[in-house]
Structure 1
Amino acid sequence: MRYDAEPAYVLHARPWRETSLLLELLTEHHGRLGLVARGVQGPKKHVLRAALQPLQHIRFDGVQRGELAQLRAAEAIDAAPRLSGDAGLAAFYVSELTLRLAPRQDPHSGLYELFGQVRERLREDAPLSWTLRRFERDLLDALGFGFDLSRDGDGGAIDPAARYRLDPEHGPRRVLSERIDAAGRSQTATGRALLALAGDEMPGADDLQGLRRALRTVLAHYLGGRGLKSWELMGELGRIAAPPVPGQASPGTGADDKVS
């Protein structure tokens, strides 16, 4: 199979042998593809190599041979966002999550557009935690794993004052207040937070933290028990970060809350 001028986003690139790269691309028409880019590490290939960096939007030619396609040519469509710090880690997270959940050569409607949207939100310095929660919600929907966040698993309306856990197979499940201990609370979100996410309205910092924890349970289910490197990195950063100074930081502004 040939790919001619196929638009794609670079999800991952790593060196292979002395002069080549192994790539993972999210394409517009063919889903996620693995490719070999041969001979791109030489001194005269810096333009092509720059077009194959993660988060870059490209147009490429290639030939599918077996599991991996062979890259023939590539050019950048635009300039990739210049991200650093928490935004750079967020970009790593969305790329890794897409790579892990999207199967190869299995296009899903809207996934390519979704990645482009989150890329631009990162470029525009939108609130990171909210950007990532929206992306997680929409990624699950695009892959067929999503559910109605305005209704519980039995079809009843979500109670804003109640707490819910997210069952990957059945959606929101109300948790009785007398059964919520510290561990259980860490896996639940308020009904108010779920309704805000369903309505695409950013909730407060505490509710964003609850959404992060609740959605991570769903994502971990579909990741098959093997977590993400970005989660591990955010955990390490969270442990070594200096504690916030009272009065100078609001809840939910730590690196782990923003990015993971």
Structure 2
Amino acid sequence: MASKRISEEPTYVLHRYDWSETSLILEVFTRHHGRIALVAKGAKRPTSSFRPILLPLQMLHVAYGGEAEIRTLKSAEWQGGHVMPTGEALLSGYYLNELLLTLLARDDPHPTLFDVYSQVVQVIASQHGEVLEAALRTFELLLLREIGLLPQLHVQTMTLRDLDPHALYVLVAEGGLRQAHADERNGIAGAQWERLQDALDAPMPFTPTLRASSECNAALKPQLRALLHYHCGVKTLRTRQMMIDIQAL
């Protein structure tokens, strides 16, 4: 039986590692087929056309074939658009990639999430500071929602009671959204949680969620970080630890 061949597939490289003296294994995120593994034969050779373009945070169109768990990369074309991020922006991109590698199952398509990832990559390549932070929070929210790990943000999770617009609430790993205790510092007003839910429910959620998350980024960041660490099964993600180590230098 002829092997299945996919062509012109929008793709981002999430991670790459050596397979042999001349070849690489790629973990990639494709728009229509989700996260898959590819072998790029001969990609480490100086004359390989793969060598200069199999980079993270760069949109590619790839062709690949095979029925095994690891398919064979046939061709890859860089789609242009922006220069390679550097510094804090590059680490932020690696952080997104680590989340996808940890939380997405292979061969599980997420075209909407792929489009959000592409939008966040564009922000990473061109923005810094508050806009970059809001873009990361937006991706975290939409990723958790896409894979079914984000509770509804317009009601209290355990009781399904409506939120008081003026009361403070927190998002916790095992309890969902609940009213903040007196000693909890990162509470967010019920009205703000409702704005976040409305943004997530929008037909094209990236921009409205970016705006809504920017209004409460400082309080939202530690809550989403704790929730992601819980579901990833780690205390600190590797890229997050790298950021901490660099800032301590």
- Cα distance between partner residues in 1 of 2:139 and 2:214: 17
Q: Report how far residue 158 of structure 1 moved.
A: 3.1
What corresponds to 1:27 in structure 2? 30
Give the match for residue 105 of structure 1. Answer: 107
- Aligned counterpart in structure 1 of residue 244 of structure 2, from 235, 242, 257: 235
**Kindly tell me: are residues 24 and 80 of structure 1, through their superposed partners in 2, closer, same or farther at Cα, counting changes over 3 Å?**
farther
Q: Please, which runs of 5 or more residues in structure 1 have no aligned partner?
A: 241-260
Q: Does 1:219 align with 2:232?
A: no
User: Per-residue CA shift, 1:155-213, capped at 9, x if unaligned?
Assistant: 33334554433234553111221xx2xxx54xx432265345444335678x4222111
Match of 1:10 in 2: 13
The superposition leaves residues 104-143 of structure 1 with CA deviations (integer Å, 9 ceiling, x where unpaired) of 1011241211111111122231611111001100111112
| Structure 1 Cα separation of the partners of residues 156 and 140 of structure 2 | 19
2:239 maps to a residue whose letter is S
Q: How does 1:1-260 map to 2 (within 5 A)?
A: 1-45=4-48, 47-125=49-127, 127-153=131-157, 154-159=159-164, 161-168=166-173, 170-177=175-182, 180=183, 184-185=184-185, 188-191=186-189, 194-195=193-194, 197-198=196-197, 199=199, 200=209, 201-202=211-212, 207-225=216-234, 227-240=236-249
Instruction: Provide the C-alpha distance between the structure 2 equivalents of 1:73 and 1:114, rounded to a whole number of angstroms.
Output: 25
Provide the C-alpha distance between the structure 2 equivalents of 1:129 and 1:73, rounded to a whole number of angstroms. Answer: 35
Q: Deviation of residue 146 (structure 1)?
A: 2.1
Structure 1 Cα separation of the partners of residues 213 and 32 of structure 2: 34
Distance 2:224 2:156 in 1: 15
- Residue identity matched to 2:193: L
- Partners of 1:226 and 1:176 lie apart in 2 by 23
Q: Which moved more, 1:2-11 or 1:222-231?
A: 222-231
The question of whether the paired residues in 2 share the 8 Å contact of 1:12 and 1:54 is answered with yes
Cα displacement (A) at 1:50: 1.9
Quote the Cα distance in structure 1 between the aligned partners of 2:144 and 2:24: 29
Equivalent-residue separation in structure 1 for 2:44 and 2:30 (angstroms): 23
Using structure 2 for the length normalisation, give the TM-score: 0.82
Whether the 8 Å CA contact 1:108–1:143 is kept in 2: the answer is no
Name structure 2 gaps, 5 residues minimum. 200-208
Separation (CA, whole Å) in 1 of partners of 2:229 and 2:167: 24
The 8 Å contact of residues 166 and 217 in structure 1, kept in 2 or not, is answered as no
Aligned partner of residue 11 in structure 1, secondary structure: strand
**DSSP 3-state at the match of 2:47:** helix
* Structure 2: distance between partners of 1:144 and 1:108: 12
Instruction: Give distance in 1, aligned partners of 2:243 and 2:194.
Output: 27
Q: Distance in 1 between matches of 2:75 and 2:116?
A: 25
TM-score (structure 1 length as normaliser): 0.79
- 1:138 is paired with a residue whose SS is helix
Q: Distance in 2 between matches of 1:35 and 1:155?
A: 44
Q: CA deviation at 1:48?
A: 1.8
State whether residues 58 and 84 of structure 2, in contact with CA within 8 Å, keep that contact through their aligned partners in structure 1.
no
Per the alignment, in what secondary structure is the counterpart of residue 26 of structure 2? strand
Change over 3 Å in CA distance of 1:21–1:80 after alignment to 2: farther
Aligned mates of 1:82, 1:197 — CA distance in 2: 31
- Asked if the contact 1:13–1:23 (Cα under 8 Å) also holds between the matched residues in 2, the reply is yes
Shift in Å, 1:227: 3.8
